[in-house]
Structure 1
Amino acid sequence: MKFFEPNQYQSECEKLFTLYQAKIAAALPTAKVEHIGASSILGAMSKGDLDIYVEVSPTEMDKTTKILSSIGFVEKSNTLRTPALCMLEAQSADDVAVQLVAQGSEFEFFLHFRDALNTNAALVSQYNQLKKGYEGQCEDSYRTAKTQFIERVLREFRGS
């Protein structure tokens, strides 16, 4: 697993987000569409991918999944899928993922995590150190450590 410094990927992700946001907003005018993931966090290292948060009413999840499929996204296999969360990826060559989230669900944490790191440079530094420690290692081990870090940040963020 390789991680990139912010100056190596963030501007490209911003450009991609602008393109995809327009496409998604045109197809889903009432959806909340936001940039999430490491590429949305100032100074964060990343694998160089773009994550997009799409939030809709819980009753619109299935319909929205179909609409996203019609504009070039496919459901990710081997990933968490619940009535409140559907993860999709672009069928294009772009490394873009969509986290489709039901409004009011626990999965709004994507926004809370982004916001917590964007307001605390020390957390960004800790996040980058975690990533550096897993560069070249097994992705499963990294995911476990990343999950623990996210859970700790969210506990602290909610407590503040």
Structure 2
Amino acid sequence: MEKVNFFDNELFTTKNEQFFLIHKTKIKKLLPAADVQHVGSTAIPNSITKGDVDIQVRVSAEQFSKAEELLSSLYEGNDESIKTDTFRAFKDDTSNPPLGVQLTVIESEFDFFWKFREVLLKNKNYLEEYNSLKKEYENKSMDDYREAKDQFFQRLMKTLEFKNCKE
């Protein structure tokens, strides 16, 4: 059973931001029109993190197939994740830190990663709740943590803060 461990994000802030910028540059070279954003816990000060960096690459529906093809030249497809006509996940588990890349069509059903970041940045109570959830699952099953995390974000998507989040 894979166990989950968390760290204070402040331990990695500078390194993770530099890491993000390196990958953003690579992605923008291939996809100049893409909106490339640092998302996930490493993008949120005072958060607890597994230490991996998450990037959301947002493209138009017309660009999606080409973007998927080009990102496949940089990263491994994440076969554990869902794959749709508007969403594709990639990863690089060998990088330090590990990297996750979420390719989404702008305004599609999976174009929410940046919204989660914004809501957590602006709402201390939600961030504290999310950090508490992580502490509860420290050194426990990764699958159980992912299920609890999914429930947390499903609830967050129903809030006014999330619904009113605009670009």
Q: State the TM-score bracket (shorter-chain normalisation).
A: over 0.9
CA displacement at 1:10 relative to structure 2: 2.4
Structure 2, unaligned stretches of length 5 or more?
Answer: none
Indicate yes or no: 2:117 matched with 1:142: no
CA displacement at 1:44 relative to structure 2: 0.8
Which deviates the most, 9-18 or 46-55? Answer: 9-18
CA displacement at 1:7 relative to structure 2: 1.8
Counterpart amino acid of 2:138?
A: E
Contact 1:73/1:91 (8 A) holds in 2: no
Cα distance in 1 between the residues matched to 2:52 and 2:117: 15
CA displacement at 1:17 relative to structure 2: 0.5
Indicate yes or no: 2:143 matched with 1:151: no
Question: Which residue of 105, 126, 129 corresponds with 1:126?
Answer: 129
Partner of 1:32: 35
Question: Which residue of 74, 77, 83 corresponds with 2:76?
Answer: 74
Partner of 1:23: 26
Cα distance in 2 between the residues matched to 1:120 and 1:66: 37
Structure 1, unaligned stretches of length 5 or more?
Answer: none
SS at match of 2:45: coil
SS at match of 1:137: coil
Q: Residues 38, 120 of structure 1: CA spacing in aligned structure 2 closer, same or farther, 3 A cutoff?
A: same
CA displacement at 1:101 relative to structure 2: 0.2
Q: Deviations over 1:19-74 (max 9, x none)?
A: 1111111111000100000111121111000000001112222211111122x211
Question: Which residue of 83, 88, 91 corresponds with 1:89?
Answer: 91
Partner of 2:59: 56
Contact 1:65/1:86 (8 A) holds in 2: yes
Counterpart amino acid of 2:157?
A: L
Which deviates the most, 24-33 or 83-92? Answer: 83-92
Cα distance in 1 between the residues matched to 2:21 and 2:114: 18
Q: Residues 124, 19 of structure 1: CA spacing in aligned structure 2 closer, same or farther, 3 A cutoff?
A: same
Which deviates the most, 7-16 or 44-53? Answer: 7-16
Cα distance in 2 between the residues matched to 1:138 and 1:91: 19
Q: From the two aligned structures, give the one with the greater helix fraction.
A: 1
Identity of aligned residues (%): 33
